[in-house]
Structure 1
Amino acid sequence: MSRASLDKQPHEVAAMFDGVAAKYDLTNDVLSLGQARLWRKAVARAVDARAGERVLDLAAGTGTSSLPFLAAGAYVVPCDFSLGMLREGKKRHPRLPLTAGDATRLPFADGVFDAVTISFGLRNVQDTQGALREMLRVTRPGGRVVICEFSHPTWEPFRTVYSEYLMRALPPIATSVSSNPDAYVYLAESIRAWPDQPRLAARLRSAGWERPAWRNLTGGVVALHRAYKP
């Protein structure tokens, strides 16, 4: 299976990410025109990990997204359900406690993390509400969640240009830099199908999180959502 379908069967999504693991970080940098690094920095600032805190980094892939939390002195657990991604991450970051796990059935006890974060991964989970409830379960009372996800540009003319880039320009570019360009066709389609900023905030509230809020990055191409556990 080289490409996942939009019904997000877990085995299809995992197989797709297994296939792109080796060049995943490089491809993201190219396709985002260098913005991916800025988005990761924004996530690190929003999580605001402190020394001694426990941070769960979901959809961590090769572990690149976990490094800022480690540098801040937090104990970070990178978790992903793609074994291919985790194997690649172990080669690059052998000291990280990379953990296999499904976001809808997390292998952690209740209330053990001060912060849970997921970047560009919630969109690929089959049961979004189930994942949001699981994140709530493993977070301590008063803890926080930070979600970084592709969203909907707020300026209408730019939204049109962006949509054209996703469906026309992204696949050819992916062909030149990725080991599996079909995976990036799925990427484009899944971004277009994803709920906008207010609807994702409403899903957080429905799952039990309090004070959901968001901040747009790159004109709404990406939105950074944050909420707290009661």
Structure 2
Amino acid sequence: MTRASLDKQPHEVAAMFDDVAAKYDLTNDVLSLGQTRLWRKAVAQSLAVSPGERVLDLGAGTGTSSLPFAAAGARVVPCDFSLGMLREGKKRSPFLPLTAGDATRLPFADGVFDAVTISFALRNVHDTDAALREMLRVTRPGGRVVICEFSHPTLKAFRTVYTEYLMRALPPVATAVSSNPDAYVYLAESIRAWPDQPALAARLQQAGWSKVAWRNLTGGIVALHRATKP
């Protein structure tokens, strides 16, 4: 199977990311017109880690998203279920403790992290609600979570243009720069199927998180959801 279905079977999604690992970060920069770096910077600012804090960076892929936390002095653990991504990350940043793990069954004890974050990966998890509960479990009381994910543009006219870009412009661009263009068709479909900002906030609350809030980036193309463990 070359493109994972929206059923998001874990072995299919992992294989897809294994296949695109080498060029994944470059492809994302091209497809987002350079916005990816700004979105990741917003995540780092929102999480606001302090030196010595224990941070779980879930869905970390090659570990690119973990570097700002390490630079801030946090003890960051990049975790991903794609071994191909982790192998690529180990080549680039051998000092990072990259860890293989399933977001729905994390290989960590209860309450061991001060903060948990996941960027552009939650929508690829087979059971979103289980992942939200697992993130809560491994976070200490009073700890926090920041989720950065593609969302729904707030302006209707812009939403239409954005949807057209996803389904028409994205595949040919991906064909030019990616080793597996079908993977990016899947990613476009997964973005369209993802719940909007209030719906994701409600799921965070149902999972047990408190003080749930969000803010939109780039007109709602991306949303940052933030919450605290009671």
Does TM-score exceed 0.5, indicating one fold?
yes
| SS of structure 2 residue aligned to 1:143 | strand
Matched residue, 1:176: 176
Summarize the alignment of residues 118-197 of structure 1 with structure 2, pairs less than 5 Å apart. 118-197=118-197
Deviations 1:192-212 (A, max 9, x none): 000000000000000000011
The amino acid across from 1:53 in the alignment is E
Q: Percent identity?
A: 86
- Give the Cα separation in 1 of the matches to 2:173 and 2:121: 21
* Aligned residues between the structures: 230
| Residue 29, structure 1, aligned to residue 29, structure 2 | yes
Q: What TM-score results when the alignment is normalised by the length of structure 2?
A: 1.00
Deviation at 1:101, TM superposition (A): 0.1
Matched residue, 2:87: 87
The runs of 4+ residues in structure 1 deviating greater than 2 Å are: none
Summarize the alignment of residues 51-130 of structure 1 with structure 2, pairs less than 5 Å apart. 51-130=51-130
Unaligned residue ranges in structure 1 (runs of 5+): none
Deviations 1:3-58 (A, max 9, x none): 11100000000000000000000000000000000000000001101001000000
The answer to whether the 8 A contact 1:2-1:19 is kept is no
The answer to whether the 8 A contact 1:57-1:116 is kept is yes
| SS of structure 2 residue aligned to 1:161 | helix
- Give the Cα separation in 1 of the matches to 2:67 and 2:3: 28
| SS of structure 2 residue aligned to 1:117 | strand
Unaligned residue ranges in structure 2 (runs of 5+): none
- Give the Cα separation in 1 of the matches to 2:158 and 2:212: 26
Deviation at 1:110, TM superposition (A): 0.2
Query: Cα RMSD over matched residues?
Result: 0.4
| SS of structure 1 residue aligned to 2:78 | strand
| SS of structure 2 residue aligned to 1:104 | coil
Matched residue, 1:224: 224
Deviation at 1:2, TM superposition (A): 2.3
Matched residue, 1:204: 204
The amino acid across from 1:221 in the alignment is I
Matched residue, 1:14: 14
- Give the Cα separation in 2 of the matches to 1:81 and 1:126: 12
Deviations 1:114-147 (A, max 9, x none): 0000000000001000000000000000000000
The amino acid across from 2:3 in the alignment is R
The amino acid across from 1:113 in the alignment is F
